[in-house]
Structure 1
Protein backbone atom coordinates (compact mmCIF):
# COMPACT_ATOMS: atom_id res chain seq x y z
CA UNK A 1 0.00 0.00 0.00
CA UNK A 2 1.06 3.55 -0.64
CA UNK A 3 -0.31 6.67 1.02
CA UNK A 4 -1.07 9.80 -0.99
CA UNK A 5 -0.76 13.43 0.05
CA UNK A 6 -4.19 14.88 0.88
CA UNK A 7 -2.97 18.21 2.29
CA UNK A 8 0.40 19.49 1.15
CA UNK A 9 1.96 21.58 3.88
CA UNK A 10 5.23 21.77 5.79
CA UNK A 11 4.12 21.14 9.33
CA UNK A 12 7.14 21.29 11.58
CA UNK A 13 5.95 18.31 13.61
CA UNK A 14 2.54 17.02 12.51
CA UNK A 15 0.99 14.67 15.07
CA UNK A 16 -2.08 13.44 16.93
CA UNK A 17 -4.75 12.76 14.23
CA UNK A 18 -8.28 12.44 15.69
CA UNK A 19 -11.31 11.74 13.48
CA UNK A 20 -14.40 13.77 14.36
CA UNK A 21 -17.32 11.56 13.31
CA UNK A 22 -19.97 14.22 13.86
CA UNK A 23 -18.24 16.91 11.80
CA UNK A 24 -16.54 14.49 9.38
CA UNK A 25 -13.19 16.22 9.79
CA UNK A 26 -9.74 15.28 11.04
CA UNK A 27 -8.24 17.24 13.92
CA UNK A 28 -4.44 17.11 14.12
CA UNK A 29 -1.65 19.18 15.59
CA UNK A 30 1.63 20.74 14.53
CA UNK A 31 3.53 20.48 17.80
CA UNK A 32 6.46 22.77 17.05
CA UNK A 33 4.28 25.08 14.98
CA UNK A 34 2.01 25.51 18.04
CA UNK A 35 -1.08 24.87 15.90
CA UNK A 36 -4.31 22.91 16.05
CA UNK A 37 -5.43 21.88 12.54
CA UNK A 38 -8.82 20.75 11.26
CA UNK A 39 -8.82 19.09 7.84
CA UNK A 40 -12.06 18.58 5.91
CA UNK A 41 -11.81 15.87 3.22
CA UNK A 42 -15.13 16.91 1.64
CA UNK A 43 -14.10 20.57 1.31
CA UNK A 44 -10.40 19.84 0.85
CA UNK A 45 -9.46 22.59 3.25
CA UNK A 46 -7.43 22.83 6.42
CA UNK A 47 -8.14 25.39 9.14
CA UNK A 48 -5.61 26.36 11.80
CA UNK A 49 -5.66 27.79 15.29
CA UNK A 50 -2.40 29.10 16.74
CA UNK A 51 -1.38 28.93 20.39
CA UNK A 52 1.38 30.45 22.50
CA UNK A 53 2.98 27.10 23.25
CA UNK A 54 3.34 23.64 21.72
CA UNK A 55 0.13 21.66 21.22
CA UNK A 56 0.97 17.95 21.38
CA UNK A 57 -2.35 16.06 21.26
CA UNK A 58 -6.07 16.69 20.75
CA UNK A 59 -9.19 14.71 21.68
CA UNK A 60 -12.86 15.72 21.70
CA UNK A 61 -14.71 16.25 24.95
CA UNK A 62 -18.20 14.77 25.26
CA UNK A 63 -19.47 17.92 26.98
CA UNK A 64 -18.22 20.05 24.11
CA UNK A 65 -14.91 21.43 23.00
CA UNK A 66 -11.62 19.60 23.24
CA UNK A 67 -8.92 18.42 25.59
CA UNK A 68 -5.42 19.49 24.53
CA UNK A 69 -2.11 18.20 25.75
CA UNK A 70 0.31 21.13 25.58
CA UNK A 71 3.93 21.70 26.48
CA UNK A 72 3.34 22.31 30.18
CA UNK A 73 0.15 20.37 30.90
CA UNK A 74 -3.34 19.28 29.93
CA UNK A 75 -6.05 21.84 29.11
CA UNK A 76 -9.77 21.97 28.43
CA UNK A 77 -10.41 24.11 25.34
CA UNK A 78 -13.73 25.48 24.13
CA UNK A 79 -14.29 28.59 22.05
CA UNK A 80 -11.24 30.70 22.82
CA UNK A 81 -10.96 29.63 26.47
CA UNK A 82 -8.15 27.45 27.80
CA UNK A 83 -8.38 25.92 31.27
CA UNK A 84 -5.41 24.01 32.67
CA UNK A 85 -6.51 20.86 34.51
CA UNK A 86 -3.24 18.98 35.00
CA UNK A 87 0.41 19.98 35.18
CA UNK A 88 2.23 17.12 36.92
CA UNK A 89 5.71 18.06 35.69
CA UNK A 90 5.60 21.85 35.93
CA UNK A 91 8.96 21.91 37.76
CA UNK A 92 10.77 19.75 35.14
CA UNK A 93 12.31 22.04 32.54
CA UNK A 94 13.67 19.28 30.27
CA UNK A 95 10.25 17.65 29.67
CA UNK A 96 7.15 18.41 27.61
CA UNK A 97 3.92 16.56 27.05
CA UNK A 98 3.66 14.42 23.92
CA UNK A 99 1.05 11.94 22.65
CA UNK A 100 -2.32 11.42 24.31
CA UNK A 101 -5.56 9.46 23.79
CA UNK A 102 -8.73 8.51 25.64
CA UNK A 103 -9.47 4.98 26.75
CA UNK A 104 -12.88 3.30 26.26
CA UNK A 105 -14.07 4.64 29.64
CA UNK A 106 -13.35 8.24 28.59
CA UNK A 107 -10.20 8.77 30.65
CA UNK A 108 -7.34 10.68 29.03
CA UNK A 109 -3.90 9.07 28.95
CA UNK A 110 -1.11 11.52 28.13
CA UNK A 111 2.63 11.08 28.37
CA UNK A 112 5.68 13.27 28.59
CA UNK A 113 9.05 13.11 26.85
CA UNK A 114 12.61 14.15 27.57
CA UNK A 115 13.67 17.13 25.44
CA UNK A 116 17.25 17.51 26.68
CA UNK A 117 19.74 14.80 27.57
CA UNK A 118 19.29 11.05 27.79
CA UNK A 119 17.28 10.91 31.00
CA UNK A 120 14.56 8.27 31.39
CA UNK A 121 12.48 10.21 33.87
CA UNK A 122 9.38 11.06 31.81
CA UNK A 123 6.08 9.28 32.41
CA UNK A 124 2.61 8.29 31.24
CA UNK A 125 -0.29 9.86 33.16
CA UNK A 126 -3.98 9.05 33.45
CA UNK A 127 -6.39 12.00 33.79
CA UNK A 128 -9.66 10.63 35.14
CA UNK A 129 -13.14 11.98 34.50
CA UNK A 130 -13.02 13.88 37.82
CA UNK A 131 -9.86 15.60 36.46
CA UNK A 132 -7.56 13.87 38.95
CA UNK A 133 -4.16 12.99 37.52
CA UNK A 134 -2.13 9.89 38.33
CA UNK A 135 1.28 8.71 37.14
CA UNK A 136 0.87 5.20 35.71
CA UNK A 137 4.17 4.38 33.98
CA UNK A 138 7.56 5.77 35.07
CA UNK A 139 11.09 5.68 33.62
CA UNK A 140 9.96 6.75 30.15
CA UNK A 141 12.05 8.64 27.60
CA UNK A 142 9.58 9.46 24.79
CA UNK A 143 5.97 8.58 25.60
CA UNK A 144 4.12 7.90 22.37
CA UNK A 145 1.54 5.56 20.81
CA UNK A 146 -1.50 4.24 22.71
CA UNK A 147 -4.27 1.82 21.73
CA UNK A 148 -6.86 -0.36 23.47
CA UNK A 149 -8.27 -3.73 22.44
CA UNK A 150 -11.33 -4.33 24.59
CA UNK A 151 -11.97 -7.81 23.19
CA UNK A 152 -8.60 -8.81 24.62
CA UNK A 153 -8.74 -6.42 27.62
CA UNK A 154 -5.36 -5.02 26.62
CA UNK A 155 -3.71 -1.63 26.38
CA UNK A 156 -0.80 -1.15 23.98
CA UNK A 157 1.92 1.44 24.55
CA UNK A 158 5.10 2.78 22.94
CA UNK A 159 8.10 4.44 24.54
CA UNK A 160 9.91 5.29 21.31
CA UNK A 161 13.46 4.87 22.56
CA UNK A 162 12.84 1.23 23.51
CA UNK A 163 11.97 0.36 19.86
CA UNK A 164 9.11 -1.72 21.29
CA UNK A 165 5.36 -2.01 21.44
CA UNK A 166 4.29 -3.44 24.80
CA UNK A 167 0.93 -4.60 26.12
CA UNK A 168 -0.68 -4.42 29.56
CA UNK A 169 -3.75 -6.13 30.90
CA UNK A 170 -6.30 -3.34 31.23
CA UNK A 171 -9.27 -3.01 33.58
CA UNK A 172 -11.91 -0.70 32.11
CA UNK A 173 -13.63 -0.14 35.47
CA UNK A 174 -10.58 1.00 37.41
CA UNK A 175 -8.25 2.07 34.62
CA UNK A 176 -5.51 -0.04 36.21
CA UNK A 177 -2.90 -1.83 34.08
CA UNK A 178 -0.63 -4.75 34.93
CA UNK A 179 1.48 -7.57 33.48
CA UNK A 180 3.66 -5.81 30.91
CA UNK A 181 4.59 -7.92 27.89
CA UNK A 182 6.70 -7.05 24.82
CA UNK A 183 4.59 -7.43 21.68
CA UNK A 184 7.14 -6.46 19.04
CA UNK A 185 10.67 -5.05 18.80
CA UNK A 186 11.51 -3.02 15.69
CA UNK A 187 14.82 -3.11 13.89
CA UNK A 188 16.47 0.31 13.71
CA UNK A 189 16.32 0.03 9.92
CA UNK A 190 12.50 0.14 10.15
CA UNK A 191 12.63 3.57 11.79
CA UNK A 192 11.46 4.42 15.30
CA UNK A 193 7.93 3.62 16.54
CA UNK A 194 5.88 6.76 17.12
CA UNK A 195 2.08 7.13 17.09
CA UNK A 196 -0.22 4.13 16.77
CA UNK A 197 -3.80 3.07 16.11
CA UNK A 198 -5.79 -0.18 16.12
CA UNK A 199 -8.37 -1.64 13.76
CA UNK A 200 -11.49 -3.74 14.43
CA UNK A 201 -9.51 -6.95 13.96
CA UNK A 202 -7.06 -5.99 16.68
CA UNK A 203 -4.18 -5.23 14.29
CA UNK A 204 -1.86 -2.37 15.28
CA UNK A 205 -0.75 0.30 12.81
CA UNK A 206 2.49 1.99 13.91
CA UNK A 207 3.95 5.16 12.39
CA UNK A 208 7.71 4.85 11.94
CA UNK A 209 9.72 8.05 12.48
CA UNK A 210 12.74 8.12 10.13
CA UNK A 211 11.22 5.06 8.47
CA UNK A 212 9.11 6.36 5.54
CA UNK A 213 6.27 3.99 6.49
CA UNK A 214 3.47 2.78 8.72
CA UNK A 215 3.86 -0.85 9.82
CA UNK A 216 0.86 -3.10 10.49
CA UNK A 217 1.40 -5.65 13.28
CA UNK A 218 -0.51 -8.65 14.54
CA UNK A 219 0.05 -8.32 18.31
CA UNK A 220 -1.27 -11.81 19.01
CA UNK A 221 1.26 -13.56 16.77
CA UNK A 222 3.85 -10.79 17.31
CA UNK A 223 4.45 -10.55 13.57
CA UNK A 224 4.60 -7.83 10.94
CA UNK A 225 1.60 -8.14 8.62
CA UNK A 226 1.92 -5.32 6.11
CA UNK A 227 3.26 -1.82 5.61
CA UNK A 228 2.13 1.46 4.09
CA UNK A 229 4.70 3.38 2.09
CA UNK A 230 4.71 7.08 2.95
CA UNK A 231 6.57 9.67 0.90
CA UNK A 232 7.86 11.41 4.02
CA UNK A 233 10.83 10.42 6.13
CA UNK A 234 9.45 11.29 9.55
CA UNK A 235 6.10 9.52 9.83
CA UNK A 236 4.62 10.47 13.19
CA UNK A 237 1.13 9.06 13.75
CA UNK A 238 -1.99 7.59 12.14
CA UNK A 239 -5.72 7.25 12.72
CA UNK A 240 -8.67 5.71 10.92
CA UNK A 241 -11.48 7.95 9.69
CA UNK A 242 -13.86 8.62 6.84
CA UNK A 243 -17.46 7.47 6.42
CA UNK A 244 -16.63 3.82 7.03
CA UNK A 245 -13.38 4.19 9.02
CA UNK A 246 -11.37 2.53 6.25
CA UNK A 247 -9.28 5.61 5.47
CA UNK A 248 -5.98 5.69 7.35
CA UNK A 249 -4.86 9.30 7.86
CA UNK A 250 -1.13 9.74 8.46
CA UNK A 251 0.76 12.73 9.86
CA UNK A 252 4.41 13.57 9.28
CA UNK A 253 7.13 16.02 10.26
CA UNK A 254 9.52 18.12 8.21
CA UNK A 255 13.16 17.12 7.95
CA UNK A 256 16.41 18.39 6.44
CA UNK A 257 16.70 15.39 4.10
CA UNK A 258 16.87 16.65 0.50
CA UNK A 259 14.80 13.64 -0.64
CA UNK A 260 12.05 14.45 1.85
CA UNK A 261 9.92 16.61 -0.44
CA UNK A 262 6.63 15.98 1.37
CA UNK A 263 7.76 15.94 5.00
CA UNK A 264 5.16 17.72 7.12
CA UNK A 265 2.26 16.86 4.81
CA UNK A 266 -0.95 15.04 5.73
CA UNK A 267 -1.39 11.69 3.98
CA UNK A 268 -4.17 9.13 3.57
CA UNK A 269 -4.61 5.62 2.20
CA UNK A 270 -7.72 3.50 1.66
CA UNK A 271 -7.38 0.14 3.42
CA UNK A 272 -9.20 -3.19 3.58
CA UNK A 273 -9.16 -2.81 7.36
CA UNK A 274 -11.69 -0.87 9.38
CA UNK A 275 -10.99 1.33 12.35
CA UNK A 276 -13.34 2.49 15.10
CA UNK A 277 -14.73 5.78 16.37
CA UNK A 278 -12.11 7.29 18.70
CA UNK A 279 -13.00 7.57 22.35
CA UNK A 280 -13.81 11.03 23.72
CA UNK A 281 -13.02 12.54 27.11
CA UNK A 282 -15.91 11.94 29.52
CA UNK A 283 -14.85 14.45 32.18
Structure 2
Protein backbone atom coordinates (compact mmCIF):
# COMPACT_ATOMS: atom_id res chain seq x y z
CA UNK A 1 0.00 0.00 0.00
CA UNK A 2 1.06 3.60 -0.48
CA UNK A 3 0.87 6.46 1.98
CA UNK A 4 -0.74 9.74 0.95
CA UNK A 5 0.52 13.23 1.69
CA UNK A 6 -1.07 14.54 4.90
CA UNK A 7 0.95 17.64 5.86
CA UNK A 8 3.24 19.33 3.36
CA UNK A 9 6.27 20.53 5.30
CA UNK A 10 10.06 20.30 5.18
CA UNK A 11 11.26 18.84 8.47
CA UNK A 12 15.00 18.29 8.56
CA UNK A 13 14.29 15.23 10.67
CA UNK A 14 10.59 14.87 11.47
CA UNK A 15 10.07 12.53 14.42
CA UNK A 16 7.89 11.41 17.30
CA UNK A 17 4.32 11.68 15.93
CA UNK A 18 1.73 11.69 18.73
CA UNK A 19 -2.01 11.48 18.12
CA UNK A 20 -3.93 13.66 20.56
CA UNK A 21 -7.21 11.75 20.82
CA UNK A 22 -9.00 14.39 22.90
CA UNK A 23 -8.28 17.16 20.40
CA UNK A 24 -8.15 14.91 17.32
CA UNK A 25 -4.89 16.51 16.28
CA UNK A 26 -1.32 15.44 15.59
CA UNK A 27 1.88 16.57 17.32
CA UNK A 28 5.37 15.85 16.00
CA UNK A 29 8.87 17.30 16.31
CA UNK A 30 11.65 18.39 13.99
CA UNK A 31 14.85 17.23 15.69
CA UNK A 32 17.21 19.71 14.02
CA UNK A 33 14.56 22.33 13.32
CA UNK A 34 14.34 22.61 17.14
CA UNK A 35 10.57 22.77 17.29
CA UNK A 36 7.33 21.03 18.19
CA UNK A 37 4.67 21.03 15.46
CA UNK A 38 0.91 20.67 15.92
CA UNK A 39 -1.52 20.01 13.07
CA UNK A 40 -5.05 20.92 14.14
CA UNK A 41 -8.11 21.79 12.05
CA UNK A 42 -5.99 22.02 8.93
CA UNK A 43 -3.51 24.48 10.42
CA UNK A 44 0.16 23.71 11.14
CA UNK A 45 1.74 25.56 14.06
CA UNK A 46 5.25 25.38 15.45
CA UNK A 47 6.85 26.37 18.73
CA UNK A 48 10.62 26.79 19.00
CA UNK A 49 12.41 25.10 21.89
CA UNK A 50 15.88 26.54 21.24
CA UNK A 51 17.83 23.29 20.93
CA UNK A 52 17.69 19.85 19.33
CA UNK A 53 14.61 17.88 20.39
CA UNK A 54 14.16 14.12 20.26
CA UNK A 55 10.54 13.79 21.39
CA UNK A 56 7.60 15.58 22.99
CA UNK A 57 5.06 13.60 25.01
CA UNK A 58 1.71 14.99 26.27
CA UNK A 59 1.24 15.01 30.04
CA UNK A 60 -2.03 14.60 31.91
CA UNK A 61 -1.60 17.87 33.79
CA UNK A 62 -1.31 19.81 30.53
CA UNK A 63 1.54 20.65 28.21
CA UNK A 64 4.24 18.19 27.21
CA UNK A 65 7.52 16.75 28.41
CA UNK A 66 10.26 17.07 25.81
CA UNK A 67 13.60 15.31 25.52
CA UNK A 68 16.02 18.07 24.51
CA UNK A 69 19.74 18.21 23.94
CA UNK A 70 20.33 19.45 27.49
CA UNK A 71 17.83 17.20 29.27
CA UNK A 72 14.13 16.70 29.98
CA UNK A 73 11.84 19.72 30.15
CA UNK A 74 8.20 20.51 30.81
CA UNK A 75 7.11 22.54 27.77
CA UNK A 76 4.07 24.69 27.10
CA UNK A 77 3.44 23.96 23.40
CA UNK A 78 1.47 27.20 23.02
CA UNK A 79 4.18 29.58 24.22
CA UNK A 80 7.32 27.48 24.07
CA UNK A 81 8.05 28.22 27.73
CA UNK A 82 10.09 25.39 29.18
CA UNK A 83 11.05 24.28 32.68
CA UNK A 84 14.00 21.98 33.38
CA UNK A 85 13.10 18.66 34.99
CA UNK A 86 16.22 16.49 34.91
CA UNK A 87 19.15 15.26 32.85
CA UNK A 88 19.45 11.52 33.46
CA UNK A 89 22.49 11.24 31.18
CA UNK A 90 24.74 14.30 31.43
CA UNK A 91 27.08 13.11 28.69
CA UNK A 92 28.04 15.69 26.02
CA UNK A 93 28.53 12.86 23.53
CA UNK A 94 24.88 11.76 23.66
CA UNK A 95 21.44 13.35 23.27
CA UNK A 96 17.79 12.50 23.81
CA UNK A 97 16.11 10.69 20.94
CA UNK A 98 12.85 8.75 20.77
CA UNK A 99 10.47 8.75 23.73
CA UNK A 100 6.93 7.74 24.69
CA UNK A 101 4.59 7.22 27.62
CA UNK A 102 3.72 3.61 28.42
CA UNK A 103 0.20 2.26 29.12
CA UNK A 104 0.73 2.87 32.86
CA UNK A 105 1.55 6.55 32.47
CA UNK A 106 5.35 6.36 32.87
CA UNK A 107 7.62 8.35 30.55
CA UNK A 108 10.47 6.66 28.65
CA UNK A 109 13.19 8.46 26.68
CA UNK A 110 16.17 6.83 24.97
CA UNK A 111 19.48 8.49 24.17
CA UNK A 112 21.86 8.14 21.26
CA UNK A 113 25.43 8.89 20.27
CA UNK A 114 25.70 12.38 18.75
CA UNK A 115 28.44 11.13 16.42
CA UNK A 116 25.62 9.50 14.42
CA UNK A 117 24.20 12.98 13.75
CA UNK A 118 27.44 14.43 12.44
CA UNK A 119 29.29 11.39 11.13
CA UNK A 120 32.28 12.60 13.14
CA UNK A 121 33.88 9.68 14.89
CA UNK A 122 32.64 6.19 15.61
CA UNK A 123 29.56 5.73 17.78
CA UNK A 124 30.18 4.15 21.15
CA UNK A 125 27.65 2.07 23.15
CA UNK A 126 27.39 4.70 25.89
CA UNK A 127 23.76 5.83 25.71
CA UNK A 128 20.88 4.66 27.88
CA UNK A 129 17.11 4.34 28.12
CA UNK A 130 15.47 6.03 31.10
CA UNK A 131 12.02 5.94 32.70
CA UNK A 132 10.30 8.58 34.85
CA UNK A 133 7.32 7.50 36.94
CA UNK A 134 4.38 9.85 37.62
CA UNK A 135 6.01 10.92 40.91
CA UNK A 136 8.99 12.27 38.96
CA UNK A 137 11.47 9.57 39.96
CA UNK A 138 13.86 8.52 37.16
CA UNK A 139 15.73 5.26 36.75
CA UNK A 140 17.88 3.73 34.00
CA UNK A 141 16.20 0.85 32.19
CA UNK A 142 18.87 -0.07 29.63
CA UNK A 143 22.52 0.91 29.15
CA UNK A 144 25.12 0.38 26.44
CA UNK A 145 22.98 1.69 23.59
CA UNK A 146 24.25 3.17 20.34
CA UNK A 147 21.02 4.71 19.06
CA UNK A 148 17.98 4.33 21.30
CA UNK A 149 14.94 4.42 19.07
CA UNK A 150 11.53 2.74 18.64
CA UNK A 151 9.44 1.73 21.67
CA UNK A 152 6.24 -0.32 21.88
CA UNK A 153 4.29 -2.24 24.53
CA UNK A 154 1.95 -5.20 24.21
CA UNK A 155 -1.75 -4.69 24.87
CA UNK A 156 -1.41 -5.51 28.57
CA UNK A 157 1.73 -3.37 28.81
CA UNK A 158 3.85 -6.21 30.17
CA UNK A 159 5.88 -6.97 27.07
CA UNK A 160 8.24 -4.25 25.89
CA UNK A 161 9.78 -4.02 22.43
CA UNK A 162 12.80 -1.81 21.79
CA UNK A 163 15.05 -0.82 18.90
CA UNK A 164 18.71 0.13 19.04
CA UNK A 165 18.98 1.05 15.39
CA UNK A 166 22.63 0.09 15.00
CA UNK A 167 21.94 -3.51 16.08
CA UNK A 168 19.49 -4.05 13.16
CA UNK A 169 17.02 -5.92 15.30
CA UNK A 170 14.10 -5.66 17.73
CA UNK A 171 14.65 -6.62 21.34
CA UNK A 172 11.84 -7.86 23.59
CA UNK A 173 11.65 -7.73 27.40
CA UNK A 174 9.26 -8.63 30.18
CA UNK A 175 8.16 -5.44 31.96
CA UNK A 176 6.97 -5.25 35.56
CA UNK A 177 5.10 -1.94 35.94
CA UNK A 178 4.97 -2.26 39.73
CA UNK A 179 8.77 -2.25 40.12
CA UNK A 180 9.66 -0.56 36.81
CA UNK A 181 12.01 -3.37 35.87
CA UNK A 182 12.84 -5.15 32.63
CA UNK A 183 13.88 -8.79 32.52
CA UNK A 184 14.40 -11.66 30.10
CA UNK A 185 15.67 -9.44 27.30
CA UNK A 186 16.52 -11.13 24.02
CA UNK A 187 16.34 -10.57 20.29
CA UNK A 188 12.80 -10.93 18.99
CA UNK A 189 13.94 -10.85 15.37
CA UNK A 190 16.66 -9.45 13.14
CA UNK A 191 15.99 -6.92 10.39
CA UNK A 192 17.91 -7.38 7.12
CA UNK A 193 20.09 -4.37 6.31
CA UNK A 194 18.73 -4.17 2.77
CA UNK A 195 15.35 -3.08 4.20
CA UNK A 196 16.89 0.06 5.73
CA UNK A 197 17.61 1.12 9.30
CA UNK A 198 14.88 0.39 11.87
CA UNK A 199 13.78 3.69 13.40
CA UNK A 200 10.48 4.53 15.16
CA UNK A 201 7.96 1.80 16.03
CA UNK A 202 4.35 1.30 17.06
CA UNK A 203 2.10 -1.71 17.64
CA UNK A 204 -1.40 -2.68 16.51
CA UNK A 205 -4.25 -4.44 18.31
CA UNK A 206 -3.13 -7.78 16.85
CA UNK A 207 0.30 -7.43 18.45
CA UNK A 208 2.13 -6.78 15.18
CA UNK A 209 4.87 -4.14 14.99
CA UNK A 210 4.96 -1.27 12.48
CA UNK A 211 8.52 -0.01 12.00
CA UNK A 212 9.70 3.04 10.05
CA UNK A 213 12.66 2.12 7.86
CA UNK A 214 15.13 5.00 7.59
CA UNK A 215 16.72 4.86 4.17
CA UNK A 216 14.21 2.21 3.15
CA UNK A 217 11.33 4.45 2.05
CA UNK A 218 8.68 2.47 3.90
CA UNK A 219 6.93 1.45 7.09
CA UNK A 220 6.91 -2.32 7.48
CA UNK A 221 4.55 -4.45 9.53
CA UNK A 222 6.41 -7.30 11.24
CA UNK A 223 5.27 -10.42 13.03
CA UNK A 224 7.33 -10.17 16.25
CA UNK A 225 7.31 -13.96 16.72
CA UNK A 226 8.74 -14.83 13.32
CA UNK A 227 10.22 -11.61 11.94
CA UNK A 228 8.14 -12.02 8.78
CA UNK A 229 7.20 -8.84 6.90
CA UNK A 230 3.39 -8.85 6.68
CA UNK A 231 2.67 -5.45 5.09
CA UNK A 232 4.58 -2.65 3.40
CA UNK A 233 3.51 1.00 3.34
CA UNK A 234 5.52 2.83 0.70
CA UNK A 235 6.58 6.47 1.04
CA UNK A 236 7.72 8.84 -1.75
CA UNK A 237 11.00 9.59 0.04
CA UNK A 238 13.75 7.43 1.58
CA UNK A 239 14.20 8.67 5.14
CA UNK A 240 11.12 7.45 7.01
CA UNK A 241 11.47 8.07 10.73
CA UNK A 242 8.44 7.15 12.83
CA UNK A 243 4.73 6.30 12.82
CA UNK A 244 1.79 6.38 15.20
CA UNK A 245 -1.82 5.29 15.00
CA UNK A 246 -4.63 7.83 15.11
CA UNK A 247 -7.74 9.13 13.40
CA UNK A 248 -11.36 8.73 14.46
CA UNK A 249 -11.16 4.94 14.15
CA UNK A 250 -7.53 4.61 15.36
CA UNK A 251 -6.79 2.75 12.13
CA UNK A 252 -4.77 5.39 10.33
CA UNK A 253 -1.00 5.46 10.39
CA UNK A 254 0.62 8.91 10.56
CA UNK A 255 4.21 8.84 9.33
CA UNK A 256 7.04 11.38 9.71
CA UNK A 257 9.98 11.79 7.33
CA UNK A 258 13.05 14.00 6.95
CA UNK A 259 14.99 15.96 4.36
CA UNK A 260 18.40 15.28 5.90
CA UNK A 261 20.72 13.66 3.35
CA UNK A 262 17.98 13.57 0.71
CA UNK A 263 18.10 14.79 -2.89
CA UNK A 264 15.10 17.12 -2.87
CA UNK A 265 14.98 17.32 -6.67
CA UNK A 266 14.30 13.58 -6.70
CA UNK A 267 12.15 13.52 -3.55
CA UNK A 268 10.36 16.89 -3.26
CA UNK A 269 7.95 15.66 -0.56
CA UNK A 270 10.72 14.61 1.83
CA UNK A 271 10.25 16.09 5.30
CA UNK A 272 6.45 15.94 5.06
CA UNK A 273 3.99 13.91 7.11
CA UNK A 274 2.03 11.13 5.43
CA UNK A 275 -1.04 9.07 6.23
CA UNK A 276 -2.13 5.53 5.38
CA UNK A 277 -5.34 3.64 6.19
CA UNK A 278 -4.03 0.23 7.17
CA UNK A 279 -7.19 -1.71 8.06
CA UNK A 280 -6.23 -2.50 11.65
CA UNK A 281 -6.51 -0.47 14.85
CA UNK A 282 -3.39 0.46 16.74
CA UNK A 283 -2.18 1.48 20.16
CA UNK A 284 -3.05 5.00 21.29
CA UNK A 285 -0.43 7.63 22.06
CA UNK A 286 -0.36 7.31 25.84
CA UNK A 287 -0.10 10.29 28.18
CA UNK A 288 2.54 10.83 30.86
CA UNK A 289 0.66 11.01 34.15
CA UNK A 290 3.27 13.14 35.90
TM-score (norm 2): 0.93
Q: Does 1:85 align with 2:85?
A: yes
What is the SS of the residue equivalent to 2:194? Answer: helix
| Structure 1 CA distance for aligned equivalents of residues 29 and 157 of structure 2 | 30
Deviation at 1:276, TM superposition (A): 2.8
What is the correspondence of 1:99-138 to structure 2 with a 5 Å cutoff?
A: 99-116=98-115, 117-138=122-143
How far does residue 171 in structure 1 lie from its aligned partner after superposition?
A: 1.2
Tell me which residue corresponds to 2:266. 259
- 4+ runs of 1 displaced by more than 4 Å? none
Unaligned runs of 5+ in 1: none
CA RMSD in angstroms comes to 1.3
Counterparts of 1:199-214 in structure 2 under 5 Å? 199-214=204-219
Q: Does 1:186 align with 2:208?
A: no
Say whether the 8 Å CA contact 1:72–1:89 is kept in structure 2: no
Equivalences for residues 1-283 of structure 1 within 5 A: 1-40=1-40, 43-78=41-76, 80=79, 81-90=81-90, 92-116=91-115, 117-151=122-156, 153-254=158-259, 255-257=261-263, 258-283=265-290
Question: In the superposition, relative to structure 1, how do residues 126 and 174 fare at CA in structure 2: closer, same or farther (>3 Å)?
Answer: same
User: What displacement does 1:152 show?
Assistant: 7.4
* Deviation for aligned residue 1:150: 3.4
C-alpha distance in 2 between matches for 1:208 and 1:108 = 24
Q: For residues 241-264 of structure 1, what are the alpha-carbon distances to aligned partners after superposition, in whole Å with 9 as ceiling and x for unaligned?
A: 000111100000103335222211
Measured after TM superposition, the shift of residue 23 of structure 1 is: 0.7
Deviates more, 1:179-188 or 1:252-261: 252-261
Deviation, 1:11, is 0.5
CA distance in 2, matches of 1:259, 1:236: 19
| CA–CA distance in structure 2, aligned partners of residues 276 and 142 of structure 1 | 23
Q: Take 2:62 and 2:10, find their aligned partners in 1: how far apart are those partners?
A: 30
* Cα distance in 1 between the residues matched to 2:127 and 2:157: 28
Q: For the residues of structure 2 that align with 1:177 and 1:136, how far apart are their CA atoms?
A: 7
Distance 1:152 1:38 in 2: 27
Counterpart-to-counterpart distance in 2, 1:62 and 1:250:
24
What is the TM-score with the length of structure 1 in the denominator? Answer: 0.95
Give the whole-Å Cα distance in 1 for the aligned partners of 2:102 and 2:284: 12
